[in-house]
Structure 1
Amino acid sequence: ILLEWIRFRSGCVTRELTFDLGKKEDKLHLLLGLAAIAVDIDKAIRIIRNTEHEADVVPNLERAFCITKIQAEYIADIKLRNLNREYLMNRIAEHKQLEAEIADIKETLRDELKLKAMIIKSLQEIKKKYGKPRRTDIVEKEEVKTPKEDIFFENYNCRLVMTRGGYFKKLSVQSVRASDEQKLKEGDYVVYQEDTDNRGDVLFFTDKGQIYRARVADFELSKASQMGEYVPAKLQMDDDEHVVTCKMIYELIPEHHMVYVFENGKGLRVSMGAYEAKSRRRKISGAYSSDSPLAGAIYEGDKPVNIFIRSDSDRGMLIKSSLIPEKSTRTASGVQIMKLAKKSKVDLVTDRIEDVGQDALKCKKLALPSTGSPLGQLTFNF
């Protein structure tokens, strides 16, 4: 590219110099004509004054002083008051400088090195006048890291489904249209479902206080009529470690939060910025408190979300996520948000209010902690 630019720029400079050379040679030619009449100015004036016809002035000057037609026309057009020795001598004095400039241009056109020196000088002047500090770093060829082929994948729309039993499905749009009824093991139910695409990452939250991160593209397309992939086995989780829920993300946004609710009724919000790291980690240990088993994890984006919490003593409450305090330490135990009876525990945490039903609105609470409301005949789609 640089060599091609140098060739192009050399051509431009050559054309500029050739144009200047022509203009200077034309001017020198006229000055030499002035030098010819300077020998006898009075004779030139007489010819101009005494010639009967205007058309004969130029030919008469040509013959009298042995000059060209162009020189004669130039002299004939000079105002009479300028046809004096002082004016002519001042103009003729320019011819020595012109001859030097013409010689220099011709020398530059013949010498490629001088031509390139002109280009360099021009670039230095531009740099001095318009130059700004470099905004990017120059990376040596040896420092360039070639991306691994496995990070390139096809992107398409899909639906992600996670069950409480640890099964994960990535469904194509066609599969969702064909059937929306999920095949589940007896007693299993859907804890997470989202329509997204194949570009993001999935965070899997386990009952051991750990988060596993995997690409959506790492999972094969499944069907609603299939069980899906068993996440603990696929991600090689620790023995007796189970997935509680999951969430798809494109990036970790510090202004967003994870809301954790534990079986002992405590809960907290943790900024997603708490999980930022210099390198991409497959497993994040100590992601949240393990003092009590995790009952549920809900993602809170730009706005607070509705969360339904149920205890095994048949009580429940519907709250806004913003009621739950944020903690700067991600392993904090949290604060009591649901008062539990002795030996009772939280057994359900969900933001899928449509699966709880409209009767969940009767359990709405505006202050924490709360014992919740008796659920009675409330029907759940779990």
Structure 2
Amino acid sequence: MLTEEEKNAGLEGRIVPINIEEQMKSAYIDYSMSVIVSRALPDVRDGMKPVHRRILYDMSAELNLYSDKPTRKSARIVGDVLGKFHPHGDSSVYEAMVRMAQDWSLRYPLVDGQGNFGSMDGDSPAAMRYTEARMKKITDEVMADIDKETIDWTLNFDDTIPEPTVLPTKIPLLLVNGASGIAVGMATNMAPHNLGEVVDACCAYVENPEIECEELLKYVKGPDFPTGGIIYGYDGVREALLTGRGRVMMRARTEIEHTASGRECIVITEIPYMVNKAEMIKKIADMINEKKIEGISYINDESDRNGMRIIVILKQDARASVVLNTLFKNTPLQTSFAVNNIALVNGRPMMLNLRDLVRHFVEHRHDVIVRRTRFDLRKAEERLHIVLGLLIAQDNIDEIVRIIRSSQTPDAARQSMMERFDLSDLQAAAIIEMRLRALTGLERGKLEAERDELNRQIDYFRRVLESRDLQMQIIRDELLEVKEKYGDDRRTEIVYASEEFNPEDFYADDDMVITISHMGYIKRTPLAEYRTQNRGGVGAKGSATRDEDFIEHIYVATMHNTILFFTEKGRCYWLKVYDIPEGARSSKGRAIQNVIQIEPDDKVRAYLNVRRLDDADYVANNYIILCTKDGTIKKTRLEAYSRPRQNGVNAIVIREGDQLIEASLTSGKAEVMIAAREGKAIRFNESTVRPIGRVGAGVRGISLDEGDEVVGMICVEPASGQDVLVLSENGYGKRTDLSEYRVTNRGGKGVKTINVTEKTGKLISIQAVTDENDLMIINRSGLTIRTAVSQIRLAGRATQGVRIINLRDGDQIASVMAVPAADEVLPEAETGAEQASEPQTGTPDETPSGRE
């Protein structure tokens, strides 16, 4: 309501009260539509936003900067566009023109720039007063026939100059050059494609308008980026082409070379689209300095005018494939392009798939062809009308001259001729304007030839307008002509692989020693860090543990293995070896509760190396045999453990006072041996144990005397050639042929496997070994020794064996593991081991042949 003062001031009737909420809604919608239609989104027909369309139109029609004309200052072009068509900032026009000249931004640049137009390193172009530009030759095809009434026009911002609403392009620019823009409430991000492939798709649509989008994928393989590179994985490409939305994974093109010193180096020759090369190199260098990427010693940009070349020199022990995959994961060497095909269709934004884009372009070309033909037909008919009048004048030249000479004015002469020869006003005017040379016989012949040619053209144009098939044939022929002129080979290679990172790609499949301490600390260490010593050595320092802690388990696996951890409570957990924290041989490791979700009062007691949990045949035909301290065993198919769960699963029911001590992977035909602490062992065939599910307690494997307990179980496969190796807690051990242990029924007491005395101590370990194995032994004080199994002689089942490791007073063996033999044996002096003071047992022939 108006106040009395406002009414008295004469404002009544001039101020209209409105709802502020409704006004804000209306104003914002108007602004949104202006941004969407007039600024941010391209037109589906010519692939242009208004600024690009205005730049090209001004360069062609207003400034005549075609490809065969000299260049002009960019400032002149920008100023002309601003003054006539685009009343916005000069930087917006200049930046748009610059991008159309950059061959790393557009697959087919439309502007021919002279001077500094920026670089892939993100360098800014020179100021517009320093650079010059003109149209590229391909742009001539974009502007072709614009003067033949092929498109609609509108007035510019001040209603003084007409400007085109769309360009009559012969080239499907939206597909071949792509587009990107952020509007209000929507955005577009369209990938560039290869001109030849797009033309083939358009021709296929012309020949069969009912063609499915799926069939067009035979022609358009996928995006073709101006910077080349590799598209990694096809699923995203396919989704983008079929639906209009998808994520395309792009990778740099790399090669592995060697430096003069023999080091491996990664050479990068192409990078993903829209990646800033300088920033990419800086990011890699920063990650190297921050130790986030290991294995790289040096990176340098050696790019020049001949092409891109970025050198990444690796450290001596680094693997190029591992480093490269790490770079792909953590740097812009691999990045994604989120396709979002939104364009204006009849002024409305729409999501478009490949077929939609092709269809709208072909329909636009069809409209241009029809309108161009109508224009050409009209012009031909108008010219024929004039030529026929000139021929009439040729036939009656004497009378024409007389009429002209006898007339007082040109209008009178024209009127007289029109009445005398039944001519139109246009024909009479043309005759009056005719030069005297047209009276020659040669000129008459030209007029007759022109008449015949015009008749042929008119007949052709009429046939074109009457036949849609002929119109489509013209579209096809012109497209193929464009492909012939400007088509080129695909730059971006498509690799049909998974878009997802495979974590195994980042780790070489090296052998690792996995150690677990008594107090539950775990780590992995490269097996190469452990060197072989001669039998009887005291050993090298293996791990830094607290006084009351010691290494209890030592296992060997490769980086890509899946490890199944079995705890003494009968739970099973899954973990990839590369997920186990790495530590040096002397480091403590990490608490296992921080690696797998194990209960605080539980401990890992056994493990299994498994590679192929996803192989149905493999998991169905292999078994896991579990053994507990009181002699219970359980057999279950591996298939029951083929679906990892983060929180683990129950593997066996453990009775009170019992605990799981061992797990083995078998084929179903193995010989099972269970050894007890008092020196007895039982052997029976695995087939006597029926497989049951995970939920179950198992059956009796060995009967124990009171106070005795199981120390280990081995499963020996047929024809494996393995012997039985046993070791006592005071360092005595021996190898025995498996055949010395007779096969008995499951559940018996077994037979003597080592002569347990006060000197040897109780039995602590049983292992299945061959001459190809080394024995790794860790005692409670943390010392470790690695010795060749072949140095341990075969002995009878009931003997006490030979001394394997010398122990200090009060020390005992904590854990034993058979590992693959090392390639070399280092003298004890090189390992830092102390020389044993106690005389060696055994005979001279126990030293293996072929070892130094």
Q: TM-score, normalised by structure 2?
A: 0.21
Whose relative contact order is higher, 1 or 2, with alpha carbons under 8 Å and at least 6 apart? 1
- Name the one with the larger helix percent: 1
